[in-house]
Amino acid sequence: MKSNLIVLAQSLEQPRIVKRINQKAKEYESVHVYGFTRNVHSVENHEVLAKNKNVTLTVAGQLKNGRYLERIFTFLRLLKTLYAKYGFGKKSVYVFGLDLRIFASFLVNAKIDYEISDIVWLYDRKGKKGIMRFMDNWLAGKSRKVVFTTRSFYDGYYSKSVNEEQVVIAENKLETYGKVQPISEMRDDKVRIAYIGAFRYAKIIEHLISSVNNNPNLVLNFYGATHGKLIETINQATASNPNISYHGPFKNPDDLERIYGENNLNFVVYNNASENEQVAMPNKFYESGFFNIPIVCATKTYVGERVLKQNMGWTIDTDYDSISNFLNELDVQKLRGYHENIKRLDKGYFVA
């Protein structure tokens, strides 16, 4: 077993990050985690880390959306803390995300493993995008190992800067912690649509809400959190339509069996005009596969290709007509057919 590892974590609320820390705790005698909370919501997903006696958790601050200058000062305070505790000697460091990878480059004598689950510069405009792409690829190439949550990230954007022997593919599969089980009998009274996780892609969500507003035979449930005008849109929809409900933040994986049990369609139609969404593998794919709930994704996406290949559901375009027509033509019998297909799949394909 290796000796010591320092982990720098963007969000202690992110189940993927908590899962990876637990995995590292099996490899190292001592894991020192310096993580941040976020200002969106808190359901204490990181509580599970307390079960590892060799994990020490320090909350290094709170990262607020859009407050990047404030974030720099938070990182500087953390840098001071790390040098005070670990000095200039050799150290192993595991970081999540580009901002913390940049930060970690200021740590002397650090062997850095870098996890990429989201290519943030794909959202930037052309000029900034080129600069950030160069920096990210350069830092990835300088890392000891680069962990990608989907092979498509490496093949599409990093293959020229990162050697194959540096690459680790660690898909964002579901970690159950023994708390949840697959769903053997799906709800079949109505088409029950679940939108689970971070609420993004405002226009798509508006199309989804409008589609349900115009069809009383559909039920729509939101689980998760966001901020700004989008949450206002969702709250207004729940107030005006009894078939639309917002259930607030949830704990992963503790609440997932209940959530998927209340629904029979996992709506994972993300913006397929975005390069990041075209190649990403959201954790909802693995959750649908484990819980036996059919899934619908956007066309022209890697996750959509995987859904069709595994015969788990559908792909549709992201405009209103496509969403509305799909939902209006969908019935419980079709959902039940995919539910039975997914039940026959090997659950080892979906769980960590």
Whether 345 is in a domain gets the answer yes
Whether 208 and 336 share a structural domain: yes
The 10s digit of each residue's pLDDT in 114-129 is 999 999 999 899 899 9
Share of the chain above pLDDT 70, in %: 96
Tokens (6 digits) for 84: 């005070």
Comparison of pLDDT for 271 and 62, the residue scoring more: 271
Whether 95 and 197 share a structural domain: no
What SS3 class is residue 265? Answer: strand
Domain end point (choices 118, 139, 169)? 169
What average pLDDT score do residues 78-85 get? 96
The 10s digit of each residue's pLDDT in 269-317 is 999 999 999 999 999 999 999 999 999 999 999 999 999 999 999 999 9
Whether 155 and 215 share a structural domain: no
Whether 339 and 201 share a structural domain: yes
Whether 177 is in a domain gets the answer no
12 CB contacts (<8 Å, ≥6 apart)?
A: 18, 35, 36, 37, 45, 46, 57, 59
What average pLDDT score do residues 131-143 get? 98
State residue 226's pLDDT score. Answer: 75
Whether 340 and 203 share a structural domain: yes
Whether 180 is in a domain gets the answer no
**Is 180's pLDDT higher than 90?**
yes
**Is 264's pLDDT higher than 90?**
yes
Whether 182 is in a domain gets the answer no
Comparison of pLDDT for 106 and 225, the residue scoring more: 106
pLDDT confidence tier of residue 137, bands split at 50, 70 and 90: very high
**Is 43's pLDDT higher than 60?**
no
Whether 128 and 202 share a structural domain: no
The 10s digit of each residue's pLDDT in 86-97 is 999 999 999 999
Contact 121, 132 (CB under 8 A): yes
* Amino acid letter for position 330: L
Whether 184 is in a domain gets the answer no
Angle (deg, nearest 10), helices 302-309 and 283-291: 20
Instruction: Name the helix (H) or strand (E) containing 250.
Output: none
Whether 226 and 345 share a structural domain: yes
Instruction: Name the helix (H) or strand (E) containing 14.
Output: none
**Is 44's pLDDT higher than 90?**
no
Whether 205 is in a domain gets the answer yes
Comparison of pLDDT for 64 and 202, the residue scoring more: 202
What spatial distance separates the first Cα and last Cα of the chain, rounded to whole Å?
21
Whether 32 and 142 share a structural domain: yes
Whether 181 is in a domain gets the answer no
Q: Which residue has the tokens 């015969």?
A: 311
The 10s digit of each residue's pLDDT in 312-351 is 999 999 999 999 999 999 999 999 999 999 999 999 999 9
Radius of gyration of the chain (CA): 21
* Mean pLDDT for the chain overall: 93
pLDDT confidence tier of residue 45, bands split at 50, 70 and 90: low
CB atoms within 10 A of CB 205: 21
Whether 19 and 158 share a structural domain: yes
Distance CA 62, CA 9 (A): 11
Lowest mean pLDDT among 52-56, 220-224, 263-267: 52-56
Comparison of pLDDT for 193 and 1, the residue scoring more: 193
Q: Domain holding 324: CATH number?
A: 3.40.50.2000
Distance CA 102, CA 120 (A): 13
Contact 101, 139 (CB under 8 A): yes
Whether 162 and 210 share a structural domain: no
How many domains does one find in the chain? 2
State residue 227's pLDDT score. Answer: 67
Q: Residue 192's beta-bridge partner residues? A: 219
State residue 313's pLDDT score. Answer: 98
Distance CA 227, CA 143 (A): 34
pLDDT confidence tier of residue 225, bands split at 50, 70 and 90: confident
Task: Check residue 137 and give left, alpha or beta (phi > 0: left; psi -120 to 50: alpha).
Answer: alpha
Whether 223 and 145 share a structural domain: no
State residue 147's pLDDT score. Answer: 98
Q: Identify the DSSP state of 316.
A: E
State residue 187's pLDDT score. Answer: 96
Domain enclosing residue 130, as ranges: 2-169
The 10s digit of each residue's pLDDT in 18-32 is 999 999 999 999 999
Share of the chain above pLDDT 90, in %: 85
Whether 111 and 250 share a structural domain: no
**Is 66's pLDDT higher than 80?**
no
Whether 283 is in a domain gets the answer yes
